[in-house]
Structure 1
Amino acid sequence: MQIQINTDNHIQNTESLRERIEAIATQELKHQRQHLTRVEYHLSDVNSGKAGAEDKRCLVEARPAGMQPVSAEHRADNIVLAITEATRQLNRVLTSAIGKAQNK
């Protein structure tokens, strides 16, 4: 599973952020890992650097082998919470989509 990270101009794509995302993705997507070819994270600061409630946004898109891509989004006060919750939501979407595909 390849992990790709895209950030806007207000969020720095640091090594520690990449490590955190890889750890979250590995933990939360461990049961779907064998089905995934790539997971893309799109991180942005909605208020462009100004503080505010739920101003950090994470859109995560997964590409399961032989299936259409699926995505999930979450907004939170900090970027790590947005990443964690979006990945958890993606896990639920993947579980459903993969289960339906296997039952066909």
Structure 2
Amino acid sequence: MFVQVNRDNQMEDREADLDRVEQMVEDRLSRIADKVTRAEIHLGHVKESRTNNPEFRCMVEVRPENLAPVAASAEGVGVEAVVRSACDKVLHAYDKVVGKQGAR
């Protein structure tokens, strides 16, 4: 599985270490790694919250072999938390798609 991490121009290097994000995604999606050709991660800075903690958005899109792409996103405080949440959501969505394909 090829992992591509993109971030918007408002995020700083200290907020999102791309190598660490890539490793987190590979670990989280390891159980479907042999069934997916590519995973794209898009990180973005959403806004500053009232507590001066920046909020982030993470969108994860996986491209399974012979199926349409499956995507999910999450928002929250902390890059690691939103990446984990988005990966968990995309795994759930992937399982639904594969389950529907198996039922046919």
Corresponding residue of 2:25? 25
After superposition, the CA RMSD in angstroms is 2.0
Corresponding residue of 1:59? 59
The structure that is strand-richer by fraction is 2
Q: How many correspondences in the alignment?
A: 100
Equivalent residues of 1:37, 1:65 under 8 A apart: yes
Corresponding residue of 2:74? 74
* Structure 1: stretches of 5+ with no match in the other structure: none
Equivalent residues of 2:72, 2:89 under 8 A apart: yes
Please say if 1:100 is aligned against 2:100.
yes
* Structure 2: stretches of 5+ with no match in the other structure: none
Q: Name the % identity.
A: 26
Residue 7 of structure 1 aligns with an amino acid whose one-letter code is R
Following TM superposition, by how much is the alpha carbon of 1:54 offset from its aligned partner in structure 2, in angstroms? 7.0
TM-score, normalising length: structure 2: 0.83
